[in-house]
Structure 1
């Protein structure tokens, strides 16, 4: 075997190991929960690491019975902001869990093979 030749068995083993690590990281993300909030905690959104909305809490103090339309608009804005904040936290968690695996593809995996 020439020094430039690719050891396919070794490559297959590396790919299988990375696949197992990826599956494990994805399972951890599905089970993890992160929280986002808006309005000083008046609205809180809980999502998992896969960005699925699991829970939404609205503090009753945000409701103004005297102005239903304004209250509805305020709650809608706060819900959007809380969900976005939770998604940002989920994105950070994804990067933490999956980032090293993505780097492995270019820094020791397929990225070192000719043509990749």
Structure 2
């Protein structure tokens, strides 16, 4: 017998909905694990400063080319570090949207598409 997601009378099939929710949860866990392992790199100053972040946004490395170090102009170096970290963080954000976007789009906001207030 073929199982229908909506029973006669418009009532949702809760067992089918639970299976779908479990599948989505597994996909989200896998996507989060993939993001936690991913490392993204951002650069500034034509590669003088490089920052590496995890997909979670955690900064794990900053490399500075010695040519970027000028004791009389520390401000420029600081700006390059901020720009490189920002560039890497933006890459992490884009990867997160790529991995999680398709999963969270089906939730329909807080209601999860269930039409229940607060859920």
The TM-score range, normalised by the shorter chain, is 0.7 to 0.9
TM-score, length basis structure 2:
0.84
1:4 aligns with 2:10: yes
The answer on 1:25 being equivalent to 2:45 is: no
Aligned to 1:61: 67
Shift of 1:97: 0.3
| SS of aligned partner of 1:74 | helix
CA drift of 1:115 comes to 4.0
Root mean square deviation, CA, Å = 1.8
More helix as a share of residues: 1
Paired residues for 1:1-116 under 5 Å: 1-64=7-70, 68-70=71-73, 72-106=74-108, 110-111=112-113, 113-115=114-116
C-alpha distance in 2 between matches for 1:104 and 1:16: 14
- Contiguous gaps of at least 5 residues in structure 2: 1-6
Deviations 1:51-90 (A, max 9, x none): 01011000001122xxx241x2111111000000000000
TM superposition shift of 1:3: 4.1
TM-score (norm 1): 0.86
Tell me how many residue pairs correspond in the alignment: 110
